[in-house]
């Protein structure tokens, strides 16, 4: 029975938050897993709660109440090989955590919190992706590629921020793998392939997951957490 912690600040009026809970639950049922979903508010969750989770999904909906604690949760998953799926804001914070704690850029920043920071690894997109459905080219021989079993997928976006391409090569050199891009080559999926499952998507896969067709990335995440 996988215990899944959703790192984020739940708002019932946010459709991606409702879709996150529902997507995890119906995908778990499709896999025959008795999945328990617990939201972990970024400003109140404890280390003990974090340690009790079999998998972590870092939710859409940033800025979070506590960026620091969201990064703590991502670091915990990375250092302890806890399966993690970061979506939208989760993708962005995965990049910042990796930049700070693996690449060693202690002041790596996120423009949504501090647009004037000196070292922004996450910056505003040239064009907002809010409400768009766009194709993603998924690379073979990656965790994402194994989950999709196809080279192209159409995904739903809700974001205004993404990876600063100026820092792509240093991140890659430190071990972050790009496993999906859009038609212009912009990064849309990243992962750490040495871990059981550690994947970030700029889109929100759970938003297009249904009981009849659970999203393959959500399924792969839960399978790893099992």
The CATH number assigned to the domain with range 3-225 reads 3.40.50.880
Per-residue confidence at 210, pLDDT binned at 50, 70, 90? very high
- pLDDT greater than 90 at residue 174: yes
Burial 74-100 (b: 16+ CB within 10 A, else e): bebbbeeebbbbbbbbbbbbbbbbbbb
How is residue 122 written in tokens? 């996450």
Per-residue pLDDT reduced to its tens digit, 4-49: 999 999 999 999 999 999 999 999 999 999 999 999 999 999 999 9
Per-residue pLDDT reduced to its tens digit, 83-141: 999 999 999 999 999 999 999 999 999 999 999 999 999 999 988 898 889 999 999 99
For the residues 57-81, what does the mean pLDDT come to? 98
Q: Which helix (H) or strand (E) holds 7?
A: strand 3-7
Per-residue pLDDT reduced to its tens digit, 155-170: 999 999 999 999 999 9
- Domain boundaries in the chain? 3-225
């Amino acid at each position: 029975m996988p215990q899944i912690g959703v790192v984020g600040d739940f708002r019932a009026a946010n459709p991606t938050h409702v879709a996150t809970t529902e997507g995890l639950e119906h995908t778990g049922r499709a896999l025959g897993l008795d999945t328990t979903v617990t939201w972990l508010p970024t400003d109140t969750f404890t280390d003990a709660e974090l340690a009790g989770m079999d998998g972590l999904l870092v939710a859409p909906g940033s800025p979070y109440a506590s960026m620091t604690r969201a990064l703590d949760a991502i670091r915990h998953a990375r250092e302890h090989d806890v399966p993690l799926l970061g979506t939208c804001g989760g993708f962005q914070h995965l990049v910042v955590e990796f930049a700070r704690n693996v690449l060693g850029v202690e002041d790596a920043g996120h423009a949504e919190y501090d647009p004037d920071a000196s070292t922004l690894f996450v910056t505003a997109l040239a064009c907002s992706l809010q409400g768009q459905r766009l194709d993603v080219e998924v690379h073979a021989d990656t965790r994402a590629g194994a989950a999709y079993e196809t080279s192209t997928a159409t995904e739903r976006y809700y974001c205004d921020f993404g990876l600063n391409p100026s820092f792509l090569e240093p991140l890659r050199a430190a071990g972050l793998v790009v496993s999906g891009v859009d038609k212009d080559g912009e990064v849309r999926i990243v992962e750490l392939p040495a871990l059981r499952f550690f994947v970030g998507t700029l889109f929100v896969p759970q938003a297009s997951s249904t009981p009849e067709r659970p999203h393959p990335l959500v399924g792969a995440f839960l399978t790893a957490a099992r």
